[in-house]
Amino acid sequence: MLVVVALGGNAILQRGEPLECSVQRENIRTAARSIAKLAENHQVVLTHGNGPQVGLLALMNEAYSDVAPYPLDALGAQTQGMIGFMFEQELRNFMPDRKVCTVSTQTLVDPQDPAFSDPDKFVGPVYSKQQAEELLKKNPGWAIKADGKYFRRVVPSPMPSEILELPSLRHLLSSGDITVICGGGGGIPVKRINGKLEGVEAVIDKDRASRVLARDIGADALLILTDVAAVATQYGDPASQDIRLATPDKMDSFGFSAGSMGPKVEAANGFVRDGGKLSGIGSLEQAAEIIEGLAGTTIKAEVENEIQYYSSIEQAAGF
């Protein structure tokens, strides 16, 4: 099958970890091992988030106070190169006889998208309340919101409408034997004004962009890999159940939070409604098992009784 794998930026630099290259490299190596296992039986297109990385580059801007800061679209392009090269290298190490290619991609957005008036996409490291207040004083143009017990910078996250490099991606994938890394950070956000492309000060949600990419390349499956084993009906509640298999309509009925599982479920549901065979949400380490329905949460158009849960024993065992 042709499988789009969407990997979160926090899996590359996990929450609370130091923003260091060696830490990022080690996490990418772990991710590449799992993706290489999946690629043994499927053609993989890998997308990845970049929230911590683009936030770090934005902070580095401050070291050059006499130079105009680079905009978010340029920083997003930098993260595509940095993260893409590391993934390409590690995947080649795990798959020495396979072809791997990284493609810088741009994602078209509507300049009138309401997201520009209500920033909600987290980028960069986490801060204490005191640190957040100090940063707002230094950067009055920033917006900062609570992220659990911490605080993080937020930026606009407009809806993606088109991946501009789609014809080139289709050409690469037509060979059937190339693992492609693309759509980093949801793609470099751009708008079209009077027929000309311009960068946009925003960050696109990588799950939403991955849905558009998966739909438009005709992928069979979309896997969204994160730091939980499966989607829980009520995360943190003792009465919560882990979902094994469900329809998009049933997944919608749980009303998942926009700040956590919501965008992932939205993208997974949307891909199936677009005609995809299946979507999966689950742990990074279990990518190959998720695609076989042996782990994680699988979403399909037709499911007996609309939903199936893992048993309490399976939950306790972590599948």
Residues with catalytic roles: 9-10, 121, 206, 264
Phi-psi region of 225 (alpha: psi -120 to 50; beta: other; left: phi over 0): beta
Q: Which residue has 């297109």 as its token pair?
A: 45
CA pair distance 144, 157, nearest whole angstrom: 14
At CA 140, angle to CA 134 and CA 144, rounded to 5? 65
304: number of Cβ within 10 Å: 8
Strand-strand pairing, 278-283 and 221-226: parallel
Q: What is the dihedral of CA 182, 185, 188, 193, to 10 degrees?
A: 120
CA pair distance 298, 300, nearest whole angstrom: 7
* Torsion sign across C-alpha atoms 150, 58, 266, 200: positive
The long-range contacts involving 146-150, CB below 8 angstroms and separated by at least 24 positions, are 147/122, 147/259, 150/126
